[in-house]
Amino acid sequence: MSLQGKTVISLLDDEFEDLELWYPVYRVREEGATVLFAGPEKGKTHIGKYGVPATADMSFDEIDSSQIAGILVPGGWAPDKLRRYPKVLQVVQELDLAGKPIGQICHAGWVLISAKILQGRKVTSTPGIRDDMENAGATWIDEPVVVDGHLISARRPPDLPPYAKAFVDALAAVQ
């Protein structure tokens, strides 16, 4: 239970990739952290690409980056929606400046691109947004997981075990 007493936010919107949302959430919870879902509207249920629901515990506007240890951004089509919320981008920027873990997988890199935090960073993602990541100033690496400081990125669902482990390890290092 290395993460006891820590709170993590998992961002939520429609058409998230079900495994990319739930697998890391369960791993972080298994280590003792509290994981809360934040969405556009508190209490709203969102449905993943394959039909698995998740309900927002809070709205984006309720997130206080000083009170959380890290954030998970799922893939799927949700990131294209998530990056349109100024508060989401603000929270990602604040966590980046604070050096707190930011986990992103697959298409989640779109959120980090829109938050303008990728210049000079090493990342991975689904190959489909490789050009987007590179155009944002990142060095894209075709590896299951790339860790660049507090930024943890992965490509797709088969990479979930090492991605979740790297994210848990990064959270355990947060004071």
pLDDT tens for 87-110 read 999 999 999 999 999 999 999 999
Is residue 175 pLDDT above 80, yes or no? no
**DSSP strands (E only) in 15-144:** 34-39, 45-47, 53-55, 58-59, 70-73, 102-105, 122-123, 139-140
Per annotation, catalytic residue among 46, 107, 155, 156: 107
pTM: 0.97
| Known catalytic residue at 107 | yes
Averaged over 4-26, what is the pLDDT? 98
* Token duo for residue 164: 């979740």
Cβ distance 13 to 82 under 8 Å?
A: yes
CATH class of 7-173: alpha beta
pLDDT tens for 49-90 read 999 999 999 999 999 999 999 999 999 999 999 999 999 999
Domain chopping of the chain, boundaries: 7-173
Cβ-Cβ contacts under 8 Å for 125 (sequence gap 6 or more)? 104, 105, 106, 107, 108, 109, 133, 140, 153, 155
